[in-house]
Every structure is written in C-alpha cells, then in structure tokens.
Structure 1
Amino acid sequence: MNILTPIFSVVKKELKIMLRYPSWFISLIVWPIIFPFGYIFTAKALSGTEASSLVQFQSIAGTTDYVTYMLIGATIWMWNNMMLWVFGSSLRMEQMRGTLESNWLCPVPKISILFGYSITQFLMSIVYVSVSVLEFKIFYNFKFVGSPLLALLIMLVSVPSVYGLGFIFASLVLWVKEANSMVFLVRGIISIFCGITYPLAVLPNWMKNISKFIPMTHSVNALRAVISSGATIDDISKELNFLIISGIILMFLGIMAFFYTQRKAKNIGSLGHY
C-alpha cells in the first residue's frame, strides 16, 4: 500500500475532529496574547520608570526592543509546547481512546501514523504562528525589521529538529504511559537553557555550553537576529547549518526510537495496556 494513503487518512481524521470540536481554536487566539504578557509586564516593572536598564540590555542583547525580543522567544516556546502536548502524546491519546490496537492491525507502515500526526501538527503550527504575528502587531506593536522570507526559512529549517524530538517523545510516552511530567521537564529545559525571555549572556558558562547543543536556541537566536536587527542569511549561516544537521540527527533518532518502541511493545504485549 502507498504510504501516503494512511498518512493522509490520519490527517483527514484529525482535521475532522478539530472541526467537530472547534473550541480548541479559542486557546489558539487567547494564548498568544496572555502568555507573553507576564514576561513583558515584569520586564517593564524591572526596567524602571526611566528605563535606564535598557542600555545594559542593549549591550548584551543587541536591541532595546525587549518586547519583540520576548515575543519571538515566547512563540518558539509555545510552538514546542504544542508539539509536545499534541503531537508528542498522539499515540498515547489513541491508546486512551481504545483505537491504537485496531490502527496497529491495519496492513500499513506503523510509522505512517506518526507522520500523519506530524503533518496535522505542522498545519496547526502555521495557523498558530500566523495568528500570533497578527495579534502581536495589534496588541504589542510587534516590529518586523528584517526579511519575512528569511524568518520563514528559519522556521522551515527548524521543523525537522522539532518533529524529530516529537517522534522521540511520542515513542517514549507510548512506552511509559505518562505524558505530563515529561512535557513539564522538556519545556522547562527549553525555557531555561534556550533564552526564551532573556539573553543567554546572563547564564553561567556551563549552562551556555549546554544551550549550544539545543536546536531551539539557534532557532530563537536566528529569528531575533533577522526580525529585530535585519540580519542576512550570511549572518545566520552558523545557526542554519546547525539546525540542518541537528534536524537530520533528531529525525533519524526519532524514527529509530519509534521502531524500537514498536518492537518492544510487540514483544511484551503492552500496546493495549492503559
């Protein structure tokens, strides 16, 4: 059977569920407004009435526009958060619904199920980012200095590493039967080590060294350089190269993790265990 058939069957099924229960779109509208607000409000309070600390912020961040700086980091964080909750726990949700075993009996490559979820999540990400940019412009005076096409390229190059991590996460969740604590752990690491709301320069050296190996760090840095400072593709070539290489590695590890989990579940008969 053509592998594209089960992939798009999963996409069609997920889109039908979304349209049948459209309340999820409310959170898609609300979260881009309320999530960055706490960070921005705190930054305004800490900067003082004369905003004298902006000089120091500019010296380490390269810009005085801390609002846009934080909005970019918040968007990447929310994208990863959506990926972990929705895509990362997709197989576990099928298991809880009681449909995973019947899907597993279909004569199709089992990894096509995950690919279908990844495409659905990618479409949701496009909607989320589009809504976020629009609302940022309306509510936070979001300033886009650089090339939108280059920013789009950065997002596309970031996709393999993000969804490679999602493949690994989905496989582990299916194995350990629990998603919440793993989501909190991974997104906490991203928040601290990737400089979502602050420059990495303020971190201790050992934390900065760890952050260099996290793809989201390079996504955030490249987007900030392009959007806030108008950087060119040559200026962010190192970040792009890292994202391409890490994307290939993480996608490979994600696929291997899925095949291992599939074989493990078959051997011990745990696929239908709650």
Structure 2
Amino acid sequence: MISIIICSKSPALLEQVSQNIAATIGLPYEIIAVDNTKGEYGICAAYNRGAKKSNFECLCFMHEDILFHTQNWGNAVVDLLADPSIGLVGVIGSKYLVNAPAHWWGGGIDLCRRHIIDGYPDGKQEYVLQNPDNESISDVVAVDGVWLCTRRHIWQEHPFDEQTFPWFHFYDIDFSAQVFQNYRVIVTYNVLLEHFSRGNIDQSWVKSAIAFVKKWRRQLPLETKPLPKEKAQQIKERAYQAFASRLLSLHYDKRVTLKYIFKALSYDCFNRDNLWRVKQFMKNTLQVK
C-alpha cells in the first residue's frame, strides 16, 4: 500500500493524474493532495503537511504533471523499498553532487542515470534511457523531485527542510543528501513515467543553490565512488562558470555575482569565457548606473 502526496496547483492536472494512478498502480493506495492553488506553501512545507496525513508505510512524493506508462508500478516500488538498505527511489538522478551551486546534473551527463519520457507542449515525446551498465537499479547520490519514493520512518528521520528551502527548488537534492547519509539512493529502470514540464531557473533557484552548498559544505562533494582528482576539479570549475553566467543573465545582486565570477577566475583567470563574464559584469553595472 502506498500513500501518494501531491502539491497541487491545478485541479485539472490532479484529476488527470489521479485517473492515471488508479489505472496503473496495481495495489491499494491513497492520494493526499495538498491544495496549493493559492500558493500558500513551498513544496517542502506541502510535502511535510501531506506526509503527516498519510496512513501507509510507503510514501510517494510526486508532481501532478506526470503520467505513468508502467502497469503495476506500485508493486515495483514496494518490492524495492522492502530492501532495508534502500532509502529513496527515483527515475532520474546523478552519481555526483559537486561542491558548488549547481543542478543535480552539475557533475556531467555521463554521471546521470535516467529513465523517463519527456513530454513537450507541442505533443512531442522523447524517451530517455541512460543506463550504461545495463542495471535494473543504479546507485546515485541524488534523485530528481518529479517522483520520489521512500518509507515513512525515513521521512520522519529526514523531513523536508522547509526552513532552508521555502520555495520550489533543491527540496529533492537536499532530501536525497539527507537520506544518502544512512541509506542507498537509487534510480530504477522498472518504472516509466512521462513528465510534461521543465524547471524554472529564477532568483529563488539561485538562493536555494547557495543555501544548499552552505548547508552541505562539509560533506560535498557527494559521490557513489571517488572521482579522479583532476575530473572533480574540472567539474567544480565548470559549475562555478555556469553559476556565474546564470547570475549575470538574471541580473542578480552585484556583490554575489562578483563573488562567483572571482571563484570562476580562480581556476583560470585567462579563460576566454571567464574574461567575457568580467566584461559582461562591468557592462551590466554601467547600465544600472
């Protein structure tokens, strides 16, 4: 039996996914939809609120803009979580979290593991399978929040951190990092779902990215196995470069932006892209004046 917790902003999407769950899950379940149509909650607060109302041992936190393509997927989840070493299950994840503000895939696509259908507004679908070792499950350090399955006692040990992450970003990476301290975090290839939206990179994402690195600075990088030192350094350098570019594109706070430009410069001060960021920062500053 599974408790499904959804932070709902669209009654139409909630009805659609509820019908899909009923047709595909294959075992008893409950749906606890936290009404967030008025934007009262961040997703951490909504998920904690929903989990407190749940009745079953297996908890599934999921977006409402998805559809399941696998029949009896609930049984697959229950079977996986019957292994006491496994604490968190997803369908997309990464084997590396870099010690810099970055997406969960910031370690590089080669370290990602994925099994999903990406749906697009024009109706196009793209099946994505990234499983180079041909595994039934892959150990990772973080899974994407589109679909997160865990056990009740693990959520009770590691509730979503609504104080540090009050918006809709990094709740999944932070929850993964918490669980990873004591349990395995995995991507399963036995459940296939379709997701219809993309994340929104805004100023709250930037604040959440910085907050995540600050919270986990003593543990980062997180990795399933140690990378060569040179590769880890390259990943960190690229992450700082990408983050500095993101700050520039958002016209973020000048002091914060300059801080991360200098971090990128510290790896290679003569890098052409780094020099472009300095010029762009000066241009933005002069335009503001």
Q: Which category of TM-score, normalised to the shorter sequence, fits these structures?
A: under 0.3
Between Structure 1 and Structure 2, which shows a larger proportion of strand residues? Answer: 2
Between Structure 1 and Structure 2, which shows a larger proportion of helix residues? Answer: 1
Q: TM-score, normalised by structure 2?
A: 0.24
Return the structure number with greater relative CO, CA threshold 8 A, min gap 6.
1
Q: TM-score, normalised by structure 1?
A: 0.25
